Amino acid sequence: MSPKITVLTLFPEMFPGPLGQSLLGKALEKSIWELKVVNIRDFAEDKHQTVDDTCFGGGPGMVMRPDIVDKAIASVMKKGNARLIHLAPRGQVFHQRLARDMAKSSLPLVFLCGRYEGIDQRVLDAWEAEDISLGDFVLTGGELAAMTILDALVRLIPGVIGDEMSLEEESFSKGLLEYPHYTRPRIWKGREVPEVLLSGHHEKIAQWRFKESETITRERRPDLWDKYTNQHNLT
């Protein structure tokens, strides 16, 4: 069965956007995965399709109303029969293991994209939404965050990437950043391809790539390196 993904947004015209291009777009055309986009404004009750109101307690900006958002969510899921993901800076930081978890989810995925100052907390609590963040920065809305997460997880769905072995060697798959890659020409502007990659000795190549991954991770992401060394009891 094709993984079913729904996006709830005030800007449905943003989708599929980049998700409709390249390998992900071809997989979408082949129904390897399914995307449904729902306009939250369709559930507003006034002629202006108002979805927000001022903050209780004062403060700048507007908040998306719980009654409107609730109807949008209820139109695509019942509690417990789908996984509701709310894109928010305060959420758990997204990572590769979470992408794999989502790609293997037995439940449909529903992405809720907030705007303005955010969404009334009561509707998020009522639907037990998961808060997910891309990192310690703020976007104008959840749409770009949803696209990024979808790009990361959809490519892990069997049949989307032609050479699935490449997924096993890329960054974060084993807790390390990926090793450098080289192609023709063999010498470019005086820079040569590392000799070991031309040797045809697969074991030596694998060892070189592993060492390069370790070095790059240690130098560029000491946080990942510390976690990796602790997991493998390295000193």
Give me the mean pLDDT over the 43-55 stretch: 94
What whole-number percentage of the chain has pLDDT above 70?
94
175 belongs to a structural domain:
yes
pLDDT at residue 233 in the model: 81
Q: What is the pTM of this model?
A: 0.87
Residue 197 and residue 138 in one domain: no
Residues 29-46 have pLDDT tens digits of 999 999 999 999 999 999
- Which tokens go with 106? 């037995």
Backbone angles phi, psi at 85, to 5 degrees: -115, 120
pLDDT at residue 71 in the model: 98
Q: Tell me which of 50-64, 91-105, 164-178, 219-233 is least confident.
A: 164-178
Q: How far apart are CA 201 and CA 110, in angstroms?
A: 47
Give me the mean pLDDT over the 112-140 stretch: 96
SS3 content of the chain, % helix, strand, coil (to 5): 40, 20, 45
Total domains present in the chain: 2
Specify whether the CB–CB gap between 25 and 80 falls below 8 A. no
163 belongs to a structural domain:
no
Question: Does the structure show a pLDDT above 90 at 190?
Answer: yes
Q: How far apart are CA 149 and CA 171, in angstroms?
A: 16
Give me the mean pLDDT over the 44-70 stretch: 95
Residue 9 and residue 99 in one domain: yes
Question: Domain range for residue 177?
Answer: 170-231
Q: Among residues 110, 125, 154, which one ends one of the domains?
A: 154
Amino acid letter, 184: R
Q: Among residues 111, 126, 154, which one ends one of the domains?
A: 154
161 belongs to a structural domain:
no
Residue 14 and residue 70 in one domain: yes
- Which tokens go with 230? 């602790």
